[in-house]
């Protein structure tokens, strides 16, 4: 009896080991096939019949992989809008997409980037619409989100676009979508109320400059955290108080906040909790902008996801993380804010389409002042 049991256990163990081994071999084979099947249109070496200029990347790497090339002009399907792009703006996402990281490869293509176009934010003129599109017609001036906006033309679904307010330039409208939505939706996660004290960490990048202004428009008292060279900039967009992070650590101050809107995540949850009011909320928007190294970002993501999130379920001070959602009503809110003069996009510099690689390099350095915008038209050639 005592001999049978260990034998049975050994047999079970053997079967489990075999099953794990088979699963590992299968996973390896699937991964191997998926890796070698992963390709993109750069492998089809045919010249486009109806060409347009665009920024494309066939391989992962530094901004040097970006090429200004002729590609096929997109054709909208029944549900899509074709936009003649007049301006596009850059986001940390664009820098991340071209970087060679295992994490990025899982999302954007194992061996090569699946989608060779770059850019998400767009503003331009409707050129044509699919037969199911009811809200737009050729000639309408629009802004919103689409894939591959660093091009003369791009297509997207009508849900991703809204009419551009007439007193807003294409450059201003193009700077709004992703960064503006991230700021607006993040401040909502913080359940921000008029009169509350809000601290924005990383206040001078694309998201931060919108977060400061939107929080002010919602009646908050805003403290902006930035480096010395940006103190005047955050004051000019309405920050009530400024903390220069090169001289002072906001988590060591005696001030308390109702909401911390954090674009950087360079402090532990216990450090941030120290400066939160008893029922305060820390909203994590990002990991430190386009300049952050992948390993460092992963460390911050893990720390925030597993430690901060876990700890916050035992405390009254809450920790919130979110993914920016495409929302037409929110794009309209942003358009209204800018039209009413409550939000003024901060544009550090505009670039020609052919100079987009230089702009990506600049954003990747991690110290953008507001948004970098690409203007597109005849002059982009």
Ligand X SMILES: NC(=O)c1ccc[n+]([C@@H]2O[C@H](COP(=O)([O-])OP(=O)(O)OC[C@H]3O[C@@H](n4cnc5c(N)ncnc54)[C@H](OP(=O)(O)O)[C@@H]3O)[C@@H](O)[C@H]2O)c1
Q: Is 223 in the site for ligand X (CB under 6 A)?
A: no
d(C-alpha 227, C-alpha 141), whole Å: 37
DSSP summary character for residue 66? E
Report the alpha-carbon distance of residue 70 to residue 75 in Å, rounded.
15
Q: Does 208 bind ligand X (CB under 6 A)?
A: yes
Q: How far is the CB of 234 from ligand X (least distance, A)?
A: 9
- Applying CB under 6 A, which of residues 264, 308, 320, 337 lies at the interface with ligand X? 264
Least spacing, CB of residue 17 vs ligand X, in Å: 41
DSSP state of 306: I
Told to check if 377 binds ligand X by CB under 6 A, we report no
d(CA 106, CA 41): 19
Examine residue 123 and tell whether it contacts ligand X (CB under 6 A): no
The two structure tokens encoding residue 144: 């919103």
- Smallest Cα–Cα separation from 98: which of 57, 134, 155? 57
- 334's CB contacts (< 8 A; 6+ apart) are 176, 177, 180, 181, 184, 343
The residue from 213, 263, 362, 375 that contacts ligand X (CB under 6 A) is: 263
Of 6-65, binders to ligand X (CB under 6 A) are none
Among 109, 119, 190, 202, binds ligand X (CB under 6 A): 202
Q: Closest approach of Cβ 278 to ligand X, in Å?
A: 25
Tokens of 92: 């940390």
Taking the least distance from each CB to ligand X, the nearer of 160 and 287 is: 287
Tell me which residues in 127-146 interact with ligand X (CB under 6 A): none
Binding test (CB under 6 A) with ligand X, winner from 154, 157, 207, 376: 207
Residue pair 243/228 in contact (Cβ under 8 Å)? The answer is no
How far, in Å, are 80, 106, 118, 173, 205 from residue 146 at the CA level? 10, 21, 10, 14, 21
- Per CB under 6 A, the list member of 238, 303, 366, 377 interacting with ligand X is 366
360 to 65, 93, 273, 315: CA distances (angstroms): 11, 11, 35, 40
Tell me the number of residues near ligand X by CB under 6 A. 33
Does position 116 interact with ligand X (CB under 6 A)? The reply is: no
Which part of the chain contacts ligand X (CB under 6 A), choosing from 12-20, 120-128, 200-208, 331-339? Answer: 200-208
Q: Using CB under 6 A, which of 288, 335, 345, 357 touches ligand X?
A: 288
Copy the structure tokens of residue 105: 């490869």
Which single residue is written with the structure tokens 């209204």?
336
Work out whether 92 is an interface residue with ligand X (CB under 6 A): yes
Q: How near is the Cβ of 178 to ligand X at its closest, in Å?
A: 6
Residues 301-340 that bind ligand X (CB under 6 A): 322-324
Closer to ligand X by Cβ: residue 225 or 343: 225
Instruction: Give dist(CA 279, CA 121) in Å, integer.
Output: 35
Question: Residue with structure tokens 């998926």?
Answer: 34
Residue 212 engages ligand X in binding (rule: CB under 6 A): no
Residues that bind ligand X (CB under 6 A): 91-92, 178-179, 182, 201-202, 204-208, 225-227, 230, 245, 263-264, 266, 285-290, 322-324, 363, 366-368
């Amino acid at each position: 009896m005592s001999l049978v049991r260990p034998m049975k256990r050994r047999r079970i163990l053997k079967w489990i080991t075999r099953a794990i081994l088979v699963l590992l071999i299968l996973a390896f084979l699937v991964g191997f096939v998926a890796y070698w099947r992963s390709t993109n249109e750069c492998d089809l070496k045919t010249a486009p019949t109806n060409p347009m200029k665009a920024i494309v990347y066939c391989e992962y790497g530094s901004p040097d992989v970006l090429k200004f090339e002729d590609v096929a002009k997109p054709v909208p399907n029944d549900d899509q809008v074709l936009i003649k792009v007049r301006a596009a703006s850059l986001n940390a996402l664009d820098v991340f997409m071209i970087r060679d990281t295992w994490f990025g490869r899982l999302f954007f293509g194992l061996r090569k980037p699946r989608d060779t176009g770059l850019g998400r934010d767009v503003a331009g003129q409707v050129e044509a619409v699919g037969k199911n599109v009811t809200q737009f017609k050729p000639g309408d001036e629009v802004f919103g989100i689409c894939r591959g906006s660093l091009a003369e033309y791009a297509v997207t679904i009508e849900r991703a676009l809204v009419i551009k307010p007439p007193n807003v330039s294409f450059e201003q409208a193009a700077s709004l979508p992703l960064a503006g939505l991230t700021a607006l939706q993040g401040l909502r996660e913080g359940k921000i109320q008029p009169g509350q004290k809000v601290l924005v960490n990383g206040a001078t990048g694309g998201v931060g400059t919108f977060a400061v202004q939107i929080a002010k428009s919602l009646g908050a008292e805003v403290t902006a955290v930035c480096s010395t060279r940006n103190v005047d900039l955050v004051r000019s967009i309405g920050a009530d108080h400024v903390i220069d992070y090169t001289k002072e650590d906001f988590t060591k101050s005696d001030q308390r906040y109702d909401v911390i809107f954090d674009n950087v995540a360079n402090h532990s949850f216990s450090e941030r909790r120290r400066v939160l009011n008893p029922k305060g909320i820390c909203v994590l928007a990002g990991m430190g902008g386009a300049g952050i190294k992948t390993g460092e970002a992963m460390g911050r993501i893990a720390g925030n996801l597993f430690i901060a999130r876990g700890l916050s379920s035992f405390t009254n001070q809450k920790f919130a993380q979110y993914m920016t959602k495409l929302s037409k009503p929110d794009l309209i809110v942003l358009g209204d804010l800018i039209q009413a003069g409550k939000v003024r996009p901060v544009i550090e510099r505009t670039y020609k389409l052919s100079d987009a690689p230089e702009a990506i390099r600049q954003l990747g350095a991690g110290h953008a002042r507001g948004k970098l915008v690409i203007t597109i038209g005849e002059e982009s050639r």
